[in-house]
Structure 1
Amino acid sequence: MSNTVLIADDSMFMRQILKRTLAEGNYQVIAEATDGCEAISLFKEASPDIVLLDLTMTCKNGMTVLKEINNLDPNAKVVICSAMGQSKLIVEALNYGARDFIVKPYFNELIPALNKLVS
């Protein structure tokens, strides 16, 4: 059975690209959030294996969502997927419990990064 993923990104276009990439890598998208509040709610409901999380979202930003998810489940596998790839943000996200940081649009790195998390 494929690993399940929650995508949290405010851009429908980006969610479509991520869904296609994940499907090609044999990952199953079980939920999509359009803002940070929805991401937390869907995480609680769906219990995905992996969360792909954008940093720039409404209601709650990705860093806040990351902290809340890790408070709910310290073993959560959250991968930040953001165009904001400054080293300070990457270090901050990793310090708050992100398992990896993929800089958009370099999605060729996405499946190998996820495969490392689930193997």
Structure 2
Amino acid sequence: MRRLFTALGILLLLSGGMTSGIVLPNVHAEDDIPSYAKWGRLAMQKTGSRYPDADIVDYLHQGREENDSTAVEKFKLWLREDDKEFGVLIAIEFSTKTEEVIDITFSETSQ
């Protein structure tokens, strides 16, 4: 997330009123959005609902498992609540045809 804000800030600085001959390449944001982004947002939303007093301090996409008609996107979020930090492993299973969520599982970890 921090990288996204940094990149947007640099882009705004470079494009905002500067006419010094800098030519910016054609950038298509859609090309930079990973395929798991939709599921990552859902993982963060559901984790925030499940742990309302915790702050999400880190996020990691751990991969995707494909089955015949379903897939599972796996994430690890690191949370801070009061003076405690812990990880939450989230697995989102969904239909590959309809993208309908079938199941979401949570598992806490200390690593």
Structure with the higher strand share, 1 or 2: 2
The structure with the largest alpha-carbon Rg is: 2
Q: TM-score, normalised by structure 1?
A: 0.21
Q: TM-score, normalised by structure 2?
A: 0.22
Indicate the structure whose relative CO is greater, using CA pairs within 8 Å and at least 6 residues apart: 1
Structure with the higher helix share, 1 or 2: 1
